Amino acid sequence: MDSRLRGNDTRNMKQEPYKLDVKDFLVKGDIGSREVFVVKAKLDIELDEENVLKSYEGEVKLTLLENEILAEFSINYIAETICARCLKKYKREGRLSFDREYVIGRRVAEGDELLVDKEFKIEIGGPTLEEIAFDVPMKPLCKESCKGIK
């Protein structure tokens, strides 16, 4: 089992894709090989009218399977949110774990599957934003004891 740590990667991501280069992992790895990538992004993306994603960071653990790469994400993020009681902006921290599979060796995706692209890269920004957007709470509170508007 191979579980090295690869380059720290900070970028300013507006909405462009955030890709990890998995060429070495694919070429050198055997089925069952694992590798951890550290990911980090600063951004400014409106998730909805009340939530702006400011940053995320974490790890993506890759496992090489026969026909795909399994990617297990552990992500912490910070979103600027409006408190449902006092209506003030505050920084909300979230933590998420999720996974995705990237199909190896196919040019055209079927349905909503994700692919390892022809440059041996996988796009992780889209899935990460998707999960963070799902994680927006119905009634965010700046703190549990928030007394509301005074």
- Find the shortest distance in angstroms from Cβ 82 to Zn ion: 9
- Find the shortest distance in angstroms from Cβ 141 to Zn ion: 6
What one-character DSSP code corresponds to residue 31? Answer: T
Dist. CA 51–CA 80, nearest whole Å: 6
Nearest to 32 by CA among 69, 59, 57: 69
Q: Does 146 bind Zn ion (CB under 5 A)?
A: yes
Closer Cβ to Zn ion, 90 or 120, answer by number: 90
Q: Which of residues 103-142 bind Zn ion (CB under 5 A)?
A: 142
Closer Cβ to Zn ion, 32 or 148, answer by number: 148
Q: Give the total of residues touching Zn ion (CB under 5 A).
A: 5
Q: Which of residues 78-107 bind Zn ion (CB under 5 A)?
A: 83, 85-86
- Find the shortest distance in angstroms from Cβ 81 to Zn ion: 10
CA-based torsion, 62, 63, 69, 75: positive or negative: negative
Dist. CA 115–CA 108, nearest whole Å: 8
Window 12-41: contact mask with Zn ion (x via CB under 5 A) = ------------------------------
Contact call for residues 140 and 81 (beta carbons, < 8 A): yes
The alpha-helical segments, DSSP class H, found in 5-144 are 23-28, 125-134
Residue with tokens 């909503």: 112
Nearest to 69 by CA among 38, 100, 28: 100
- Find the shortest distance in angstroms from Cβ 150 to Zn ion: 10
Closer Cβ to Zn ion, 66 or 144, answer by number: 144
Binding site for Zn ion (CB under 5 A): 83, 85-86, 142, 146
